[in-house]
């Protein structure tokens, strides 16, 4: 079984939608220059976003290095294993 790109992007999209809904709830409070809110938003969202971007950039770098062929199969297998342990 190959890495399911559709599942990966669907799950990522659902997670981002949840983040957007949380941000909408806090939007009015953000207009009041609330430092606690700013800290909450940074701690709740920023670190996770940075980690997601880092992970995807690592995937892209790995795929560029391995190219096409058998290496891609190994990459897919490692992602499947990673997904099963997460």
Binding residue ranges for Fe cation = 16, 49
**Alpha-carbon span 42 to 46, nearest angstrom:** 5
Known binding site: residues? 16, 49
Q: How far is CA 18 from the centre of its chain?
A: 12
């Amino acid at each position: 079984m190959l890495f399911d790109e559709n599942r990966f992007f669907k799950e990522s999209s659902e997670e981002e939608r949840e983040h957007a809904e949380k941000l909408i709830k806090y939007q009015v409070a953000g207009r009041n220059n609330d430092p606690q809110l700013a800290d909450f938003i940074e701690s709740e969202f920023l670190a996770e976003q940075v980690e997601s971007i880092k992970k995807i950039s690592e995937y892209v770098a790995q795929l560029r290095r391995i190219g096409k062929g058998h290496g891609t199969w190994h990459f897919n297998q490692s992602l499947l294993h990673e997904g099963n342990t997460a």
